[in-house]
Structure 1
Amino acid sequence: MSTGVVVVGSFNVDHAWTSDALPRPGETLAGLYASGAGGKGFNQAVAAARAGAATTFVCALGDDSGGRLARDLAAADGIALHAQGSDAPTGTAGIFIDARGRNCIVLGPGANAELSVAHLRAHRADISAARILVAQLEVPPATVEAALQAARDAGVATVLNPAPANIDVAGGLVSLADVLTPNETEFASLLAHHLGERIDPDEVAMLEQARLHDLCRALLPHGTVVVTLGSAGCFVSHPAALRRGDDRPHYRTPGERVQAIDTTGAGDAFNGALAASLARAPGKAFEGHIVFATRYAALSTERTGAAASMPRRPELESRYGG
């Protein structure tokens, strides 16, 4: 089996505006503009590749400048790109970032909405040859489910990043995840949708560990849940019988102190780096993978952009040591 990661997901051309504050309804602000590559799938693929894993990206692209950009950038990072062609334009995103690094985003799915089960199945061999499959929710749910099922059938570990939070995640998708990686907002949404538990996302990080663990076990009884908590780090919950090399069934890990200027793509950095670490060192205790991914994501916030902000492994080792 290879040491590789397969990412199934979206590519977007990002259009980003940075200003002192996020605009309120009806408000016009002056700011700085930049454009670059993004999309949760592509961000995670770039992160996995730059973190040191052989990476394959399965996506859908339009026949336009955005599609050509995706192909050029994938080639530059050594990512094997399997793109379904589409008459729709390549996906786009409008991103607004304030002086504190916070952001809000509007997506234009374009070709991402047409990524088909048939295209996914045409690349089952790539999935079967991998160690880790990663998926998110910016492409059709049926295609995500087919990807997760193909990995499960081949004995390949699955990481499901249930993002963005406004998407209802079917129980079938959640059940196919070996590792589920929601942030606070996504976790609260999953709890409300699947368990009927109403928790304010801002309160998730303050819940007692035992309570968080119980909620995670109810949400994904057979798998590991990693709730990312931004600067507060992560909460990890394992099934009692599958601790993935850890000596505790649940624990918190701290965040890293950084000078964040743009959090766009930080969650994607975490997921891509986690997948790369799991693929490269499958025998390492899970907490070590979490520490690696946390540091990788933290470093990504010290630069602007989405895919462009993903660090390369030597940068991480220089900052934190090998």
Structure 2
Amino acid sequence: MMAKRVIVVGSFNVDHVWSVARLPRPGETLAGEYGSGPGGKGFNQAVAAARSGAAVRFACALGDDAGGQLARALAADDGIALHVLASDAPTGTAGIYVDRDGRNSIVIGPGANAALSADHVRELGADLADAGTGVVLAQLETPAEAIATAFALAREHGVATLLNPAPADAEVTPGLWALTDLTTPNETEFCTQLQRLGHDADPDTLAGLADDDLHALCRRLLPHGTVVITLGAAGCFVSHASGHLRGDGAACYRQPAPRVEAIDTIGAGDAFNGALAASLARAGEKPFAEHIAHAVRYAALSTERRGAALAMPRAADVAARFDTGAS
């Protein structure tokens, strides 16, 4: 099967990162080490997909400033084709604290990301009509109307849709869920979205549920599609809709994560999503479990590096680190 491209619809941010011994408490001032670099869930995922070997097109909104120039330069370095909406607002930013255990707290300033429009996304119609596109990937740091438009176009042309429902405080409409084929929440995002649908779930105990109980909760979130709950160091849980197992032998299962020396978990979820999208686009005929195993390894390796977009490994790095052979 011919490898296909990934279209990512999402955000670009300039990350401002402080490394501290522990995360600050309310009203507290701590000393830390400062660094800055590219991020934004959309861009992180686009870089991960590109470095995993997929052809990538990234639809975004950028300001006419140093951040926008950085995005263009870095996209060119990784061979990512940009579809840019120019905005009068500044390019998006994020303030991030990372503690000595790699845990983080993040505040986003949307800036230009909030300007990404449905009309701009509609201009991707020719790409989506092209048989060379295999996956459309989106998150929730850009307006829901733009994402829904991209997914509606993808559905019209038989292209798979992958929704990463992050950040957790962003609402997913019933219409967007209906257009979603696969979704990849973490524990907090999963429970938050379930609660909006009227179902109780606790992120602190979610991973400890029996597989059948967790599978039942997944079916409530996305009855028609595949749910992949990312569980950090515990790997992930996969739940398929009945009759649509994507080549797997079971409707639900867990994929453990390999042991790594994590120093920074910023962007690990984005690494997972980009790698998963790329794997599906490059070899969609393989059982879904093989794509998941690759995405888990890719995300694990990303935590051994500091930063977000620039920490994304290349396929050869993953193969070498985990002795998997050519990806």
Unaligned stretches of 5+ residues in structure 2: none
CA distance in 2, matches of 1:2, 1:62: 33
| Other-structure match for 1:244 | 246
Structure 1 residues 20-58: Cα deviation after superposition (integer angstroms, max 9, x where no partner): 000111111111111000000000000000000000000
Unaligned runs of 5+ in 1: none
What's the offset of the Cα at 1:193?
0.4
Structure 1 stretches of at least 4 aligned residues deviating more than 4 Å after TM superposition: none
Aligned to 1:33: 34
1:5 equivalent to 2:6? Answer yes
For residue 2 of structure 1, report the CA deviation from its aligned partner.
5.6
CA deviation string 1:121-162 (max 9, x = no partner)? 012112333100000000001111101111001100010000
Q: Deviations over 1:41-77 (max 9, x none)?
A: 0000000000000000000000000000000000000
Query: What is the match of residue 47 of structure 2?
Result: 46
TM-score (norm 2): 0.97
* Whole-angstrom CA distance in 1 between matches of 2:128 and 2:30: 45
SS at match of 2:167: coil
Match of 1:294 in 2: 296
Name 2:229's counterpart in structure 1: 227
Matched with 2:122 is 121
Match of 2:136 in 1: 133
- The aligned counterpart of 2:16 is 15
Deviations 1:148-179 (A, max 9, x none): 11100110001000000011211111111111
Contact 2:3 2:282 in 1 (8 A): no
Q: In the aligned structure 2, how far is the partner of 1:59 from the partner of 1:220?
A: 27
Of residues 190, 212, 216 in structure 2, which corresponds to 1:210?
A: 212
Q: Distance in 2 between matches of 1:299 and 1:127?
A: 31
What does residue 168 of structure 2 align with? 165
Q: Distance in 2 between matches of 1:198 and 1:28?
A: 36
Cα distance, 1:87 vs structure 2:
0.2
Conserved? CA contact 2:180–2:225, under 8 Å: yes
Render the CA deviation track for 1:265-304: whole Å, top value 9, x for unaligned: 0000000000000001111000000000000000000010
Q: Which string of whole-angstrom CA distances, capped at 9 and with x for unpartnered residues, describes residues 69-123 of structure 1?
A: 0000000000001110000000000000000000000000000000011100012
Instruction: Give the distance between the partners of 1:10 and 1:275, measured in 2 at CA.
Output: 17
Superposition pairs of residues 50-129 of structure 1, within 5 angstroms? 50-129=51-130
CA RMSD of aligned residues (A): 0.9
In 2, the alpha carbon distance for the partners of 1:159 and 1:268 equals 12
